[in-house]
Amino acid sequence: MRAAALFLATLLAARLAAAQTPAEEAPLLVTGATLHTVSGPVLEGGRMLVERGRITAVLAADAPLPATRGPAPRVIDLAGKHVYPGFIAANTALGLTEVASVAATVDHAEAGPVNPHARAVVAINADSELLPVARANGVLSALVLPGTAPGGSIAGRAALIQLAGRTWEELALEPEAALQVVLPTMRLGRERLAALPEPLQQEYTRFAAERLRRIEEAFGAAQDYLRARAAAPELPADQRWESMRPYLAGQRPVFVLADELPQIRHALGLAERFGLKLVIVGGADAWRIADVLRERRVPVVIGGVLELPTRRDEDIDARYALAARLHAAGVEFCIARNGDVFGAANERNLPYEAASAAAHGLPRDEALRAITLYPARILGVADRLGALAPGLLASFIVTDGDPLEAGTRVERVFIAGRELDTGNRQTRLTEKYARPPAPR
C-alpha cells in the first residue's frame, strides 16, 4: 500500500511539474518577427529563444545568440509577423459554464452566502469548447472566479489557469490565486425603491444589510479562529477558516466585486479592519475615489469596458473612459470582461475591450499592457506571464498585425513553448457550412 501511495504521489508531482512547463524537447528560436515585449522596447526583426517552455533570450536582430543546452534550436522564421505575449483574462467564468441557459452545464456558484473553502479549480472543465475559442484570439491565461448566490457572499477561491491541458491539474498555474467576495448592491436609489411596495422596500434594504453583516462576521470568525489555533494548535481544524489563512495574512489578494461607490468604500473598510490585500473588481465608480485607491495602492480590475453607465446622469461613454481616468489618476488597473456566465462565451473579445479603452483616451501601449503585463502584476505572476522577457513562460501569439484591431488574425499560438492548434468549434462549424451540400 505504501509503495502504491508513493507511486501515485510521484506520478501526481510529475504531472503538476509538466503542467507548469509543458515544453518542447528541442529549443525554439523565433526570428524575423516584430517582438512586442510589452515590458521593454519593440524589436523589429528580433529573435527570441525558448528552452524548456521558458524564454531564455529576447534579442535584437544583430545581437549574438547565447549558447543553448542540448540539440540545436528549431528555427521558426516569422518575417513580416508580430509576436505578442498572450492575453490574460482577469475576471471570467471560463471552464465553469458551457451553455449559460442550460443549468446542467453551469457549475459556477455554491449554495449559501459563506463558502471560502470552495475551490473553483476542481470544477473547471478542461474539455470546455469555450477554452479553444478564447485561445484562438490570444487569450492564453485566465483567472477563473467562482460566482455567488444572489445578493452577495464570500464565493470561494479563484484559480489562475493556462488555456491548455487535459485536466484541471494541467490547466492550473495558481490553483488558489485569490479569494472572491461579492458585495450586495448598496446604492438603493429612490427611483428603484419607489417602484416597490413598502414591505418590499424594507425587505430589500434588510437583505442587503444582512448579507454585509454575514460577510463581516465571516472574516471576524476566521480571524478569531486563526488566533485560537495559533495559541492552541490541538484545536480541531475548520476548513472554512483554514482556507482564509493566506488571505487574512495578506499573502494573496482578496477580489471584491464592487461597482458602486458605497460598495468600494465598504471594501476599503473591510481591507483596513482585517489587513486584506484588496483588489476591486468591476470598479465602475472607482474614478470617483481614485485618490484613495492610489494612496492605499488598491488595484482595480475593470469589469468590462463595453458596458452601459451605472448612473442615469453619467455620459454614455463613462465605462469606455474609465481606464483612461484611472491611468491619469495613477491607479493600478487592468482590463477584463464582466465575468458572468453569459460572458464566458465571448471571452475572445478581451482585446477589443482594451481597444475601446484606447479609443477613449487610454494610450495604446497602456491598453496592451492592461490585458498582459498589468493583470500579471495584480495577480502576482509577473515573473511568469505578461511580457516577452527572459525567465517568463513562453506563452505568446503570432499575428499579422495589431491584435487590438478586429481585422487582425491570430495565426499561431504557443503556451509554455508548445504550439497549439487554433482550430475550435467555431472554425469547425465555419468549415462545415462553407462546403456545399453533397448532391443527393
Q: Are residues 172 and 206 in the same domain?
A: yes
pLDDT band at residue 110 under the 50/70/90 scheme:
confident
Q: What is the rounded CA–CA span in Å between residue 335 and residue 351?
A: 9
Share of the chain above pLDDT 70, in %: 90
Q: Are residues 182 and 36 in the same domain?
A: no
Query: What is the predicted pLDDT for the residue at 91?
Result: 96
**Would you state the cell numbers that stand for residue 161, as one nine-digit string?**
489557469
Report the mean per-residue pLDDT for the chain. 90
Is a pLDDT exceeding 50 seen at residue 5? Answer: no
Q: Are residues 20 and 97 in the same domain?
A: no
Is a pLDDT exceeding 60 seen at residue 50? Answer: yes
Among residues 369, 385, 401, the one where a domain terminates is 385
For the chain, the 3-state helix, strand and coil shares in percent, each to the nearest 5, are 35, 25, 40
Range of the domain at 61: 1-86+387-440
387-398: average pLDDT = 97
Task: Count CB atoms within 10 A of the CB of residue 112.
Answer: 12
* Of 349 and 209, the one with more pLDDT: 349
Q: Are residues 221 and 110 in the same domain?
A: yes
pLDDT band at residue 14 under the 50/70/90 scheme:
very low
Query: What is the predicted pLDDT for the residue at 63?
Result: 86
Q: 3-state DSSP call for residue 176?
A: strand
Supply the CATH number for residue 288's domain: 3.20.20.140
pLDDT band at residue 217 under the 50/70/90 scheme:
very high
Query: What is the predicted pLDDT for the residue at 12?
Result: 46
pLDDT tens per residue across span 305-314: 999 898 888 9
Q: Are residues 269 and 326 in the same domain?
A: yes
Q: Are residues 76 and 91 in the same domain?
A: no
pLDDT band at residue 245 under the 50/70/90 scheme:
very high
What is the β-pairing status of strands 300-303 and 277-282? Answer: parallel
Among residues 385, 402, 431, the one where a domain terminates is 385
Supply the CATH number for residue 74's domain: 2.30.40.10
pLDDT tens per residue across span 15-33: 444 444 444 568 999 999 9
pLDDT tens per residue across span 248-284: 999 999 999 999 999 999 999 999 999 999 999 999 9
Share of the chain above pLDDT 90, in %: 75
Phi, psi values for residue 332, rounded to 5°: -70, 135
pLDDT tens per residue across span 393-418: 999 999 999 999 999 999 999 999 99
Query: What is the predicted pLDDT for the residue at 438?
Result: 80
Among residues 346, 369, 385, the one where a domain terminates is 385
Q: Are residues 317 and 425 in the same domain?
A: no
Query: What is the predicted pLDDT for the residue at 68?
Result: 75
Is a pLDDT exceeding 90 seen at residue 122? Answer: yes
* Of 287 and 109, the one with more pLDDT: 287
Q: Are residues 158 and 95 in the same domain?
A: yes
Q: Are residues 403 and 279 in the same domain?
A: no
DSSP-assigned letters across all residues of 310-377 = SSTTS-TTTTTTHHHHHHHHT--EEEE----TTGGGGGGGHHHHHHHHHTTT--HHHHHHTTTHHHHH
Q: What is the rounded CA–CA span in Å between residue 301 and residue 256?
A: 10
Q: Are residues 103 and 15 in the same domain?
A: no
Q: Are residues 141 and 4 in the same domain?
A: no
pLDDT band at residue 2 under the 50/70/90 scheme:
very low
Is a pLDDT exceeding 70 seen at residue 6? Answer: no
Q: What is the rounded CA–CA span in Å between residue 120 and residue 171?
A: 12
Q: Are residues 194 and 119 in the same domain?
A: yes
The answer to whether 158 and 182 are in contact (CB under 8 A) is: no
pLDDT band at residue 54 under the 50/70/90 scheme:
very high
Domains contained in the chain, number = 2
